[in-house]
Amino acid sequence: MSIETIGIIGVALVIVLMMLRMQVGWAMMLVGFFGCLYLQGWDFTTTVLGLIPFSSAQSYSMSCLPLFIMMGIVLAESGLGAALFDFASKWLGRVKGSLAMATAVACGFFAAICGDSVTTAVTMGKVAFPEMIRYKYSPKLAGAVIACGGTVGILIPPSMCFIIYGTITEQSIGKLFMAGFIPGILQILFYVIVISILVRVRKDFAPSMLAKVPMREKWKATGQVWPVVLIFLIIMGGMYGGLFTPTEAAAFGAFASIVVGFVTRRLKIKSFGSALMESAKNSAMTYFILIGAYVFMRFMTMSNLPVTFGNAIVNLNAEHGVPRLAILGLIILMYIVFGAFMDVFATILLTLPIIFPVIVQLGYDPIWFGVIITRMMELGMISPPFGINLFAIAKVTKTPISQIYAGVWPFLAADVVHVAMLIAFPQISLWLAGGGA
């Protein structure tokens, strides 16, 4: 049996174990351990297990992850979701479908702070869904907007997905953050356009008009969110201007979120303790997944599967004339399918050791591909029948999953157009990041 075949068996085993509900970190670590043991023996494998946990966890680039996690959780505990929804709904005013548009915008703002898709969807589902139902919005539209809006959580920085991708591929996390900003804003804009079309085509999807909001209330709502917006602008401006590293930006964001929470009296001592505990749990879980992934990646390197696979794909392009765009299309399709039934981090960690060398050899920009792979994960998270955001929204809003399925298709169509635009015009992603075409 060739070492490449052993690598393929290892990948298949990880997928099977995750489908059997084994935790991602354990699945990768176990397969990686026994794979290394089979290929290199006991002494080498125990050395790997002794070195990898420390060397991967102490990486400076990873130090921003627990800080951004804490920032997002502290702000969520401060009731930011409700404040952002109130702000967006009052400023969008009497536009038909304004509450649905406000939800999409609020999801984008909250996602920029939270950095997690499912958390954004669940939080906004608790806040925005009852309001839309109270104003007689269709549950199909209300549920779909929140499920799709939640996906922006892994595209607009600070994004956990970009941190993981940058660490694994040794790309600049700051550049990845910059690269995701404009595509994230465009994604929200696409959703607003879809909503405006839907509420005009389907009269039963939204009420005709909402009450006019006085300017006094608009400014009051603005006063509730401006400190958080200021934190975000300082973080992004500092990284873009070269004043902060991502870790320094994360430290500032975590500290500022605590100060803002207590000064505005939105954060209580009890909820702050809960936020710290939740941050520690989430950080530990993420680090454990990463350690398992590094063990698995060492096994993949020994199996020579990434190199063999990459050479085969590149030969399709060089020797058989298969366009590199067609190869990219197949990779994108694979990520849509994976994203539909697997955890985002798990998918990235499982596939990157194999796919990333192919992308580089085909001449694609690795920063741009970080945006594309993240966008594919988002699309998979709202793709019936297995999209995780769809089930999360169905559960938190107690809406039949069939209604969420029915409402999500127009947004999926907008996502396809959005992805096609990012592929056709790479500078949409690379302009702020300072990359090439």
Structure confidence by residue, pLDDT tens digits, 23-34: 778 888 899 889
Stretch 141-146: mean pLDDT, rounded?
Answer: 88
DSSP type of residue 210 = -
Distance, in Å, from the CA atom of 313 to the CA atom of 315, rounded to the nearest integer, reads: 5
Lowest mean pLDDT among 184-188, 231-235, 343-347, 350-354: 343-347
Distance, in Å, from the CA atom of 191 to the CA atom of 369, rounded to the nearest integer, reads: 23
Q: Is the pLDDT of residue 384 over 70?
A: yes
Distance (Å) of CA 313 to CA 10, 21, 309, 317, 330: 20, 32, 6, 7, 11
Q: pLDDT tier at 270 (50, 70, 90 boundaries)?
A: confident
Do 127 and 85 touch, CB atoms closer than 8 A?
yes
Distance, in Å, from the CA atom of 226 to the CA atom of 245, rounded to the nearest integer, reads: 24
Distance, in Å, from the CA atom of 67 to the CA atom of 247, rounded to the nearest integer, reads: 8
pLDDT of residue 81: 64
Per-residue pLDDT reduced to its tens digit, 40-72 = 888 888 887 777 777 766 777 677 778 877 887
Do 195 and 106 touch, CB atoms closer than 8 A?
no
Q: pLDDT tier at 437 (50, 70, 90 boundaries)?
A: very low
Per-residue pLDDT reduced to its tens digit, 327-349 = 888 888 877 777 666 666 677 77
| % of the chain exceeding 90 in pLDDT | 8
Q: pLDDT tier at 417 (50, 70, 90 boundaries)?
A: very high
Lowest mean pLDDT among 196-200, 271-275, 309-313, 415-419: 309-313
Stretch 266-295: mean pLDDT, rounded?
Answer: 82
Q: Is the pLDDT of residue 86 over 60?
A: yes
**pTM of the predicted model over 0.85:** no
Distance, in Å, from the CA atom of 346 to the CA atom of 314, rounded to the nearest integer, reads: 25
